[in-house]
Chains A and B, each alone.
Chain A
């Protein structure tokens, strides 16, 4: 009796993990296929191109050396460095602050409304949201034209002066990308156990001290995660300068970022190898930065 009754139970116990694992494979497969097709294979191809010449012979590091000697290379690195510094600091600080403020807004309706408003720009596709900015930055048509005039910028040409570009692109990127992160951070804040927050309150911690000693430390991993992804996106800056360049008919933003330089190498100078060398450099830099962030922040530590 006991044997018969336990048979199916044991069978179920044996089968269940299989079913779970099988379903797992199915779920992951879609991602793995796309990752291979649009991530791994292109990277391998890029590495191949980066170390060969136009005739498919091994070229050593010559593609890296020669693309690095191009007159546009160092300025592009300088631009992207300034841009990343502005953007990453702004992103980490402002997103955290805004998420904390949002979390403090206890009124339900208002909180939901603000969340929605934060998220809207992120819902626009990348290029479309940059187009919005092309209107914003042209004093002739901008809704903020009085502000632009107040700052002394009477024409689109004044606004997009070379010295302004890093800041402008950082503002555009923040406006486009920050909303999604604010919502993510808000979710993370909601995950902080209620009893911890309550204990802090009972101990007499105000909003500032709670944020400083409880919330921000517990958000650390999320902030690191955001910084890694934001660095990777930021280093690949392309759409913002390319669209501004098109809109200004080449006055500003041409060959601004390394990614644009790679694009120009591939399609203006017909040199896929230099382009691949630059893209491999970007990949390596992003991997190193991610590794540093991960190890320094003990990202994968449980607890």
Chain B
């Protein structure tokens, strides 16, 4: 019955992370050891020149090595079913979710040993190209490998995280715009109008705190809270202006207006301090969610999920993200959305290209099987129609999702440092301890500056 099952961030649940952590621990122990094996230097195979915009490795026959997270295994299986004569070697890894850096760690090691790279990789991290491009790991796709007629049908802006100086280095798997989920029958019963502005949203939150204590209008304990709230509020926390340049200014009103709204609702207890992916949340908030600003994949990962809130059908409805008064162009945030990367070291380029084009565009996978909103326009239409047909939602979510996908604020970029990890370490413990987010904004700014600088970014304020 899980319509979306666990989408882009399905593997964000702590449980799934542990094995990876154990693995990482093992890797770390031998880190220096292995790194020492052959200091082959940086391989910049993807430098310009050569056919298709990069220097291909000598092509060979043999199976195509594909790395996917567990959620994307059905994509590889669907491809195998449709192409019985192509041999795949499917490797399941953590998908790099939650800033795990598995892919970068492995690619660093392969770069040193000079072999071992996979041909095709799925990653759940939308900022992957910020390092794969400089490292020369990914091949350019719009220089002859994928026709522009295909690329042009990806949703507007969806290839932005893949693009460096006009060159496309990955294909977007799915989109994850944030919107306002709400419990339609409950809103109606209690006489609340679905809010279109954050002011209305806050009013309802305060009213709920008084009239229906225990019910919540959102959750601020997740690592992606900055992407849901601050991104939507056009807070300049992550304005990536160049390959290694970022502007960070979180003390402006665009940030503080959202922070103080969250503070008010957190103090009222109508905004949960918990992560929507914690066991405590499932236990405390089941049946208590009146509204929830959240990405599209929350539908399957939190609401219609037996390991989440398990909300019955005909309750959950979607509305556009509320806006601040005076905003001329409505904006929203984005939480994740995976990518497919083609290795510039691949010895099976034509099969690999065929694979990533098929898994991102073919409706047999993206339309019928994919857990999240496909980035490829025609597949997205099929997918949305399927969701609506399943009859889980209390309203027609198709126009809401389509609209949200085009409203992702472009002032929040895709840098090499993880905004989620920075927020988690800097702001979340304060929220848990009852500190006001407004008072933590300067510390947040400092932390972003520090991590961005450590990652090699020129930071301006």
Contacts and interface: CB of A to CB of B under 8 A. Distances in A.
B21 A46 contact: no
A300 B420 CA distance: 52
Contacts of A286: none
Question: Size band of the B side of the interface?
Answer: 35 or more
A141 B15 CA distance: 13
Interface string B276-288: 0111100100000
A230 to B, nearest CB: 18
B28 A242 contact: yes
A276 to B, nearest CB: 6
A72 B422 CA distance: 13
Contact of A38 (B33, B275, B429): B33
B108 A270 contact: yes
A158 B429 CA distance: 8
B14 A134 contact: yes
- The B contact surface, by secondary structure, is helix
A177 B323 CA distance: 54
A269 interface: yes
Interface in B429-444: 429, 432-433
A249 B25 contact: no
B370 to A, nearest CB: 24
A131 interface: yes
A267 B105 contact: yes
A275 B31 contact: yes
Contacts of A157: 221, 273-275, 278, 428-429, 432
A157 B429 CA distance: 7
B354 interface: no
Contacts of A131: 18, 22
Interface in A232-257: 238-239, 242-243, 245-252, 254-255
Interface string A42-58: 10011011000000100
A268 B425 contact: no
Q: Which of A41, A139, A250, A259 has the most CB of B within 10 A?
A: A250
A148 to B, nearest CB: 12
Contact of A267 (B31, B280, B428): B31
Interface string A121-157: 0000011100100100011110000000000001111
Interface of B: 12, 14, 17-18, 20-22, 24-26, 28-33, 35-36, 39, 98-101, 104-105, 108, 131, 135, 221-223, 273-275, 277-280, 283, 418, 420-421, 424-425, 428-429, 432-433, 450, 454-456
The 7 closest A-B pairs by CB, nearest first: A45-B36, A246-B21, A250-B424, A127-B22, A157-B432, A42-B33, A140-B279
